[in-house]
A = this chain, B = another copy of it.
Amino acid sequence: MAGSTYGRLFQISTWGESHGKALGVVVDGCPAGLPLCEDDIQKFLNRRKPGQNAFSTPRKENDTVQILSGIFEGKTTGCPISMLVFNETQRSADYSEIAGYYRPGHADYTFDVKYGFRDYRGGGRSSGRETIGRVAAGAVACKILASLGITFTSYVRSIGPVEIDPQRFDEAQISQNPLNMPDAVAAGQAAEYLSGCKSDGDSAGGVVECIVHHLPAGLGDPVFEKLSANLAKAMCSIGAVKSFEIGDGLAAAKARGSENNDGFASTENGLVYKCTNHSGGTLGGISDGSNLLLRIGFKPTPSISIPQQTVSRCGEQLTVRVKGRHDPLIAARAVVVAESMAAITIVDALFANMYARMDALLDFYQK
């Protein structure tokens, strides 16, 4: 069934396979009047571009975006924005071997069961390259949010057993190390850990954290369209994500109410604020004016060259080593993907909230 469209009001429809002609996205529901050019998109795509360092797939792609519609005289028109990236270096020959068996940890088996066959070149639609469309759309969403002062801090919190130390948190570091960690020491340790994985032909998992600043209170709709619920879906729709947490997350389940509740206080001007932020920015699924704190766990890259047990499409037992050009870690390149999905979800919630009250409706149409 149709599953490549996300969002209710700000809608994205992604398409494309790892080794097809191109990959892209149609963004529908972007308000008119947003200044937007290819460079805005390219900056985001460059953050997920492969081949940039030792821990990323050696496949080199320029991933140059083209905007085909929805922009006139440098501004969005309110009509669908179609964007695409042509695949340049698809080396399908690499993949012909995997046509015949199911790679452990990949979607080969489930696609075959579901559809009867699959585009086996590089994972086809289940490839990480599918996220190109998400990131291009995320660039648009982030530009909308930026115009409202809403900003992101997104980074890798841990890789395998190596976790950042909150004491050493340094936002500037994120773009300065290839692992996108806000802690130079941890980044160094993680690099060492990853080198070990790589030389073993193995791979590592990791955790990405995303903080959203200056989000207005009131976003999200009871009861199924909670902001937190939609963020959970957005994040868990990214390939390889196995856990989602908001605020204290899993730790909240071990806490007592007196530890977990965030008290309220008010400023001299009568502005209400929370004294702590265990909730991670939502109460009852609706944004509460604090920072949004999201944490998602990625499993290790399933493609490893260590021998693994599997079966052929005919059911024969096989031992395989997966070749090809793969990242030993998904989390680092996924930081911008997570940020994009969060941004898309938040834009949708911003729009949805605009008609929550009769007075807003009257204001809008009676002035």
Contact = CB atoms under 8 A, between A and B. Distances in A.
A31 B202 CA distance: 36
A235 interface: yes
Interface in A133-192: 144, 147-148, 158, 160-161
A10 interface: yes
A118 interface: yes
A3 B116 CA distance: 30
A277 interface: no
A323 to B, nearest CB: 14
Contact of A365 (B3, B148, B160): B148
A6 B279 contact: no
A211 interface: no
Interface centre among A231, A254, A360 (most CB of B within 10 A): A254
A245 interface: yes
Contacts of A204: 256-257
Interface string A198-234: 0010111111000000001110111111101111111
Contact of A33 (B4, B72, B359): B359
Given A148-B366, A264-B309, A4 B16 contact: no
Identify whether the interface residues of A are mostly helix, strand, loop, or mixed: mixed
B254 A205 contact: yes
Interface-central residue, A115, A260, A288, by most chain B CB under 10 Å: A115
Contact of A80 (B14, B148, B266, B285): B14
A225 B80 CA distance: 13
Contact of A32 (B14, B78, B115): B115
B110 A286 contact: yes
A324 interface: no
B16 A109 contact: no
Nearest to A286: B110
Given A243-B244, A244-B244, A254 B160 contact: yes
Contact of A107 (B206, B286, B361): B286
Given A16-B69, A355-B354, A113 B217 contact: yes
Interface string A23-60: 11010110111100000000000000000000000000
B297 A249 contact: yes
Interface in A85-134: 102, 104-107, 109-111, 113-119, 121, 124-126, 130
A9 to B, nearest CB: 6
Contact of A308 (B246, B263, B287, B314): B263
A317 B114 CA distance: 45
B358 A32 contact: yes
Interface in A348-367: 350-362, 364-366
Interface string A1-24: 111111111110111110011111
Given A14-B223, A17-B70, 14 more contacts: A2-B28, A3-B220, A5-B224, A13-B28, A31-B358, A72-B124, A110-B283, A113-B289, A148-B365, A207-B253, A228-B236, A259-B300, A264-B310, A354-B360
21 contacts: A2-B28, A3-B220, A3-B224, A13-B13, A15-B82, A72-B124, A73-B117, A77-B119, A77-B125, A205-B260, A223-B239, A231-B236, A243-B243, A253-B299, A257-B301, A257-B303, A257-B306, A258-B308, A260-B300, A350-B355, A354-B355
